Structure 1
């Protein structure tokens, strides 16, 4: 038996089919939530969201990663070498833009605070306690604790390569003993005996003790 349809009926049926088809198409424009985070320590990547799962890789401290999701127990999801992996939120901090402006704004917040040997902030500082605190708080950059360690960990630059955000190191005769943050125009901001303040390094007292310059972030 042959069934014949009028043109109008066929048209109506086509419209209905298309409508149903459109209704089941995947939605677009619903962007997934992502999380741009920086590792604060060396961080294992696991196959699941707890330490009981196998390790499939790791990120070095200071690595910035965009994660594609977050679990209820504070683990962040990532695709790692074609596999789904997870990193504990305890190892991560929100990404902070690494700009000199961010660093300088944090550094200036502490002008006038007292110097105290061994202090790491936020109410008082020694020289390297100040530099390490400012880098961590402003751009989430971890640098070693002491001036000597910061000197050893930095990329050395010449005086004519010096730019804002570099570290300036000083030697009074027995090795690296002081550090400040270069802010441009021949000046640094540092925690010294008179507290957190600006000092000129291009002339006067400080110039004669300069031991070198180091870069820990290339702004």
Structure 2
């Protein structure tokens, strides 16, 4: 092979390498890395990184997604059903490990805080305001606001399947009216009239009103 032919071959190889590089690099303004994020609200997926672009899908609140780039204006890119899609960073929060340890750590922070009907924290709570706050703050799990809604949204389980992190629901005679977080050993942590405290659900007052058990996160 002549020197001229070798130079021509090298030039063609260089062009090919540059072409491949362009294909794999992120578009202008995007940081090339991966981001594991959880949606905090129902989130639209758009074809570009602003609300002016068409919607091609959506994620439910509490969905964990790995995005492959982030734009300068705080939108996250993903491949969605074979298409490039973007979700606003305003709808996302960094993924938190979903474990009972994380949930329990957050739950215990609020021991002794006052009960107040309709309160969702962080200084006072009602029963479902407390459970929804704890799940959101600890593991980025969004659950419905009221005890009845939480009951309806949960996967129903038997007493024999109950484990730490599950929800215990109560009915005083007119439907689901109270909820607490099961912590093991027959106890729950809950916001009740005497504030945030531990209560025994395996005997005594609370046992007689148990309406069922639900799982909203597999911890």
Structure 2 unaligned residues grouped into runs of 5+: 22-30
Which residue of structure 2 aligns with residue 126 of structure 1? 126
Secondary structure at the aligned position of 1:33 is classed as strand
Matched ranges for 1:1-219 at <5 A: 32-219=32-219
Please state how far the C-alpha of 1:32 moved relative to its aligned partner. 3.9
Please state how far the C-alpha of 1:107 moved relative to its aligned partner. 0.3
Retained in 1: the 8 A contact 2:172–2:209?
yes
Distance in 2 of aligned mates of 1:65 and 1:149? 25
Please state how far the C-alpha of 1:68 moved relative to its aligned partner. 1.2
Retained in 1: the 8 A contact 2:32–2:70?
no
Q: TM-score, normalised by structure 1?
A: 0.84
Pair member with larger Rg: 1
Please state how far the C-alpha of 1:176 moved relative to its aligned partner. 1.1
More deviation, 75-84/183-192: 75-84
Q: TM-score, normalised by structure 2?
A: 0.84
Distance in 2 of aligned mates of 1:160 and 1:183? 14
Distance in 1 of aligned mates of 2:189 and 2:204? 15
Moved over 6 A (4+): none
Please state how far the C-alpha of 1:83 moved relative to its aligned partner. 2.1
Distance in 1 of aligned mates of 2:82 and 2:185? 49
Distance in 1 of aligned mates of 2:95 and 2:191? 27
Aligned residues: 199
Distance in 2 of aligned mates of 1:174 and 1:69? 50
User: For each residue in 1:127-180, what CA deviation from the matched residue of structure 2 results, as whole angstroms up to 9, or x when unmatched?
Assistant: 111001001111111111111111111111111111111100111112111110
Structure 1 unaligned residues grouped into runs of 5+: 4-12
Please state how far the C-alpha of 1:57 moved relative to its aligned partner. 2.0
Which residue of structure 1 aligns with residue 26 of structure 2? none
Please state how far the C-alpha of 1:55 moved relative to its aligned partner. 1.8
